[in-house]
A and B are shown apart, each in its own frame.
Chain A
Amino acid sequence: MSIHHLVALDRLLSRERTQIHENWVSEILTSWSTLHPNTFDVVEMRQHTSHLLEEIAKIFSAYPGVGLWEFGQTHPLVRIMSEFSASRAIAGFTPTETAQYVMCLKSVLILALIRELIESPTEMELNLAAVEDVIGRLTLVTFSAFVETRERIILQQSASLVELSTPVIRLWDQVLLLPLVGVIDTARARKFTGNLLEAITRYEASVTVIDVTGVPVFDIAVARHLMRTVDAAQLLGTRVVMTGLNPEGALTLTKLGITLPQVITRATLRSGVAEALALIGRRIVTVASSPS
């Protein structure tokens, strides 16, 4: 049996709902003024906030008191806010902008309450505490939904990074080419090393050209992964030619004491390919009667 304290809030939210809604929307628009106007639809936002205000009014009319109010995952408000927050996260809003959306309502309600209850401090205290409680928790819901969505996006991106194919190309009989592009992490390194070893055995490759022109960052971790790839390839009896290392990469490897003595290193893929062909006793020559 809960005693109903929040007469003032109820009164405000029924009598002046339109005004409060207007104030809220204008607050949001002010705090989002720096945003690109195309990133959100004002009409849609109005509908959304109006719906939200309706749900918040329901909570206040049945409010049992600070800390007594349960806010489960299935609560319609939680659902609405989570969906909204997730859509903001995908649209590229910052967490602050997303949280401001709810926070703006707090200042609007507090101002209205102060005007309404200036004569009765006790009642004002109760009402203010309730506003703090409800909006505070809603903000937390917004925030955690935002973060969850971001996490999900990050997970999906990591998964797609691993899936970024690193093809093993057959350059010539017994010559394979492994062009590495992008960020090399443990998962990717394991994947392309596996692919490479499989290809080496399948084609009985005697030379493998590993091209690292497309690897932007050459840190300790990347160097170690590459060392493993090179070692494994050499264990299968293939010669390794590494091409496209940049000065920073050379510096990193040397500082780590990795000198790759049994690897042939060349500046460009072009000279790497020439080297690989020389190793299998071929070379490219000019044909006298070239059709071009």
Chain B
Amino acid sequence: MRIAIPRLGRILLVAIQQDLSDDEALEFQSNLLSTIAEIEALGVVVDISALDVVDSFMARVINDTASMARLLGAEVIVCGIQPFVALTLVEMGRGLLGADCTFNLEQGLKSLQRRIASRGDYTLAEETNELII
């Protein structure tokens, strides 16, 4: 299955709707990365509220994707982590280091906007016009 990556201005929204196989997870990672690079995204919100189980591989993919996105200059927010998933991640000794987490998509977008507004490139005219406020 291919995960759609809709755009909101220079923000990308990704919702992982079902459990991914390892290959699918890696494909999603590279698609997201090339899209970030292509549109010079300022932020990414990854919604994983549909995931009931996150194994260690998936946790690593989400983590890696977050740090890669950050290296490409995008702010990353992961939202909708289920309590059980959070427990698993902590048990595995994996916080989501590369990203901030929020409870739901709305908070995720708000928090992302705050973070982008505090960035230096927010002062560049084009960027501000492209943001959703």
Question: Which residue numbers of A lie inside 8 Å of B, CB to CB?
Answer: 242-243, 245-247, 249-251, 253-255, 259-260, 265-268, 270-271, 274-279, 283-284, 286
Q: Output the least CB separation between A230 and chain B (Å).
A: 12
The listed residue (A250, A270, A276) touching B72 by CB distance below 8 A is A250
Instruction: Tell which of A247, A259, A260, A277 has the most Cβ of chain B within 10 Å.
Output: A247
Alpha-carbon distance A266/B34, docked complex (angstroms): 15
Chain A residues with CB under 8 Å of B73's CB are 243, 245, 265-268, 271
Q: Which 5 pairs of residues, A with B, have the shortest CB-CB distance?
A: A278-B120, A275-B120, A271-B121, A267-B73, A250-B68
Main secondary structure of the interface of B (DSSP, over half): helix
Residue-by-residue, is B18-43 near A (CB-CB < 8 Å gives 1, otherwise 0)? Answer: 00000000000010011011001100
B71 to A: closest C-beta gap in Å: 4
A269 CB, nearest partner CB in chain B, Å: 11
Measured in the bound complex, the distance between the Cα atoms of B42 and A267 in whole Å is: 9
User: Are A250 and B120 interface neighbours, CB within 8 A?
Assistant: no
14 CB-based A-B contacts, threshold 8 Å: A246-B37, A247-B30, A250-B71, A250-B72, A251-B33, A254-B67, A259-B70, A259-B71, A260-B71, A265-B72, A267-B40, A274-B121, A279-B120, A286-B125
> Residue of A at shortest CB range from B64?
A254
B interface, size bucket: 20 to 34
Partner of B71, one of A265, A274, A277, A279: A265
In the bound assembly, the distance between CA atoms of A251 and B31 in angstroms comes to: 12
Write out the residue numbers on chain B whose beta carbons fall within 8 Å of the beta carbon of A267.
36-37, 40-41, 72-74
Given contacts A246-B37, A250-B33, contact A270 B71 (CB under 8 A): no
B98 close to chain A: CB less than 8 A: yes
Inter-chain CA distance A78–B119, complex, in Å, is 69
Closest to A271 in B: B121
With a cutoff of 8 Å between Cβ atoms, the chain A residues found around residue B36 in the complex are: 247, 267
* Interface contact tally, CB-CB below 8 A: 79
Minimum distance in angstroms from A268 CB to a CB of chain B: 6
Given A251-B68, A259-B70, 19 more contacts at CB 8 Å? A247-B37, A247-B68, A250-B33, A250-B69, A250-B71, A251-B33, A254-B67, A255-B64, A259-B67, A259-B97, A265-B70, A266-B73, A267-B41, A268-B73, A270-B124, A271-B119, A274-B120, A279-B120, A283-B123
Given contacts A247-B37, A251-B33, A259-B98, contact A276 B120 (CB under 8 A): yes
Interface residues of B (CB under 8 A from A): 30, 33-34, 36-37, 40-41, 64, 67-74, 97-98, 119-125, 127
Q: Are A284 and B123 in contact (CB under 8 A)?
A: yes
Nearest opposing residue in chain B for A244, CB measure? B73
Smallest CB separation, A206 vs chain B (Å): 14
Instruction: Return A246 CB to nearest CB of chain B, in Å.
Output: 6
Check if B71 sits within 8 Å of A253, measured CB to CB.
yes
Q: Which listed residue (A251, A268, A275, A279) contacts B40, Cβ 8 A? A: A268
Known pairs A247-B37, A259-B97, A259-B98; A271 contacts B120 (CB<8 A): yes
A286 to B125, CA, bound (A): 10
Which of chain A's residues have a CB closer than 8 A to the CB of B72?
245, 247, 250, 265, 267
A275 touches B33 (CB 8 A): no
Closest chain B residue, CB of each to CB of A245: B71
Cα–Cα, bound, A274→B74 (Å): 15
Give the residues in chain A near B71, CB-CB below 8 Å: 242, 245, 249-250, 253-254, 259-260, 265
User: Which B residues lie within 8 Å of A250 (CB)?
Assistant: 33, 67-69, 71-72
Question: B65 — nearest CB in chain A belongs to which residue?
Answer: A254
Most buried by A among B30, B123, B125: B123
